[in-house]
């Protein structure tokens, strides 16, 4: 146990704090930065840690995450992403926009990844807003799929003072064979144990925090490790830990009867025992990679406390999307409409946030992150934003006008739409093929039995209309709280 100079006691498991040197040229400022609000005398620091493909069940299996952050902050039990895929989700986090508005629709291709983001929304992000307001900004880790283009490996996007980004488009094994663009200089890493990716990213993050404190400037750190994304290669110190772990055997695991599911699920054959054992080994490897993320979080909290800025810093922990781990026979799949893919962990600690609290009521989305960070920093949010600030929710205030539902969408290259509407009672899906699903999430939280064939037509029509409204929203219409709650009562029974 480590006593920290803070209003809290953080039960950190001690690991070395890295203090690597760095430096270089800052990213160019953005011409699209919004006007700055009147700022408080002491602006908070912000650390945003983004895991990659981390689902809620895997998060719950981690041994130290609750002690490191959950017991000291607020956990949002209804946190969802607007698309369950890396690049579209990260674009939504950085801009506060739905995929149908920022138009980063996939990880690759002309409408996907870094290429699509640079073409449009990159000019106005949370980084450009905060940097224009006097924050020292840094991105450490993964930026977007396809970053950079081979012709410009030293490219630094606008808004970033420190840039330590993985060259995703030129990297093979992520954890042990990778390239970083470090403030315009491309460096290879991974040949030695001490160059394990999560550890190198941690050292860069710690150095950024120390320098920012020395310069007496508020800072924004966007810290994005690859873990637990496949191929899940753990650090050597963790290679034999977490033995006996496996994919959760929930009621939908390797689902025997998928006759009520869409064709792509019906076409998935049941897993054999050999395939299940392989999936279990994959899950164990994913958990092992997350042990290094726990070390990362511990190091970040330790350096914040050692520099006496922990009490002035908000720390966010989130994932870009979830992952299917055998549910409905789907193995390491995402960008689907099921709960395991669209729901993500989200925990926040910081000034004014009560310890060990849970929000089980409010739907929050990744598009809410940018406006939330902006309000915490005292920066006006551009009208292009679709999300809403969560600051009042962070403080535990009663917010009656909040959204009553959430949508996750996926738009194909042909323009076809697949989407799911999540309400407190239902998960209603429409996919590009014309197939539909409906689940009673209170009585069937694992989505085993779709009710779409026997549900009241009036209910289905209301859900479909609301889904269409949200997948076509823009700016203020996305931020509106919506109509009355959709219930089976008054609209017929099953």
Q: How far apart are alpha carbons 16 and 112 in whole angstroms?
A: 38
* DSSP assignments along 341-367, one per residue: HHB--EEEE-TTPPTTEEE-S--EEGG
Beta bridge partners of 343: 80
Is 236 in contact with 193 (CB distance < 8 Å)? Answer: yes
Helix pair 197-215, 273-306: axis angle to 10 deg: 20
Identify the DSSP state of 70.
G
- In 9-70, which residue ranges form alpha helices assigned H by DSSP? 56-60, 65-68
Beta bridge partners of 165: 141, 181
Is 359 in contact with 79 (CB distance < 8 Å)? Answer: no
478 a catalytic residue: no
Q: How many helices (H) and strands (E) does the chain have?
A: 14, 18
Q: How far apart are alpha carbons 371 and 391 in whole angstroms?
A: 9
- Catalytic residue (one of 21, 86, 473, 478): 86
What separation in angstroms does the CA of 396 have from each of 46, 48, 354, 361?
A: 19, 20, 8, 11
* DSSP assignments along 232-280, one per residue: ----GGGTT-STT------TTBT-S--TTS-HHHHTSPPPPHHHHHHHH
To which residue do tokens 């830990």 refer? 241
Is 26 in contact with 160 (CB distance < 8 Å)? Answer: yes
357-359 and 74-76 as β-strands: parallel, antiparallel, unpaired?
A: parallel
Q: Which two tokens stand for residue 383?
A: 């009208």
Q: How far apart are alpha carbons 146 and 125 in whole angstroms?
A: 18
Q: Choose among 409, 389, 392, 394: nearest CA to 479.
A: 389
Radius of gyration over every alpha carbon of the chain, rounded to an integer in angstroms = 22
Catalytic sites, residue numbers: 86
């Amino acid at each position: 146990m480590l006593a920290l100079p803070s209003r809290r006691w953080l039960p950190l498991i001690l690991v070395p704090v890295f203090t690597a040197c760095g430096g270089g040229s800052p990213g160019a400022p953005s011409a699209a930065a919004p006007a700055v609000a009147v700022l408080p005398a002491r602006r908070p620091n912000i650390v945003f840690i983004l895991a990659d493909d981390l689902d809620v069940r895997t998060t719950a299996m981690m041994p130290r995450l609750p002690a490191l952050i959950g017991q000291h902050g607020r956990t949002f039990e209804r946190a969802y992403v607007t698309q369950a895929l890396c690049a579209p989700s990260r674009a939504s986090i950085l801009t506060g926009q739905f995929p149908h508005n920022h138009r980063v629709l996939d990880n690759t291709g002309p409408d996907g990844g870094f290429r699509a983001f640079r073409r449009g929304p990159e000019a106005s992000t949370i980084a450009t807003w905060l940097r224009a307001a006097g924050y020292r900004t840094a991105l450490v880790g993964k930026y977007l799929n396809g970053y950079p283009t081979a012709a410009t490996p030293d490219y630094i996007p606008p808004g970033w003072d420190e840039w330590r980004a993985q060259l995703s488009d030129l990297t093979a094994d992520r954890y042990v064979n990778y390239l970083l663009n470090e403030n315009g200089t491309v460096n290879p890493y991974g040949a030695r144990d001490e160059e394990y990716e999560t550890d190198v990213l941690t050292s860069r993050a710690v150095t950024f925090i120390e320098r920012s404190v020395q310069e007496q400037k508020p800072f924004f750190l966007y810290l994005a490790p690859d873990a637990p994304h496949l191929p899940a290669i753990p650090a050597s110190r963790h290679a034999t830990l977490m033995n006996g772990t496996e994919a959760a055997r929930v009621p939908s695991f390797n689902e025997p009867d998928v006759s009520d599911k869409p064709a792509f699920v019906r076409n998935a054959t049941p897993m054999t025992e050999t395939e299940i054992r392989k999936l279990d080994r994959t899950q164990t490897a994913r958990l092992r990679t997350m042990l290094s993320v726990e070390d990362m979080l511990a190091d970040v909290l330790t350096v914040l406390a050692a520099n006496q800025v922990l009490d002035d810093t908000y720390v966010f922990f989130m994932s870009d999307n979830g992952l299917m781990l055998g549910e409905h026979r789907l193995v390491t799949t995402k960008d689907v409409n099921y709960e395991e893919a669209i729901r993500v962990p989200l925990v926040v600690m910081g000034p004014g946030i009560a310890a060990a609290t849970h929000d089980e009521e409010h739907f929050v989305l990744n598009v809410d992150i940018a406006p939330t960070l902006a309000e915490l920093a005292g920066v006006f949010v551009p009208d292009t934003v679709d999300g809403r600030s969560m600051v009042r929710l962070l403080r535990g205030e009663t917010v009656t006008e909040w959204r009553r539902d959430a949508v996750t969408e996926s738009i194909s290259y042909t323009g076809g739409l697949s989407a799911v509407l999540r309400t407190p009672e239902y998960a209603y899906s429409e996919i590009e093929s014309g197939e539909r699903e409906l689940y009673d999430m209170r009585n069937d939280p694992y989505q085993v039995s779709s009710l779409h064939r026997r549900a009241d037509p009036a209910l289905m029509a209301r859900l479909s209309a609301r889904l269409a409204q949200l997948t076509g929203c823009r700016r203020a219409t996305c931020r509106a709280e919506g109509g009355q709650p959709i219930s089976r009562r008054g609209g017929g029974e099953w």
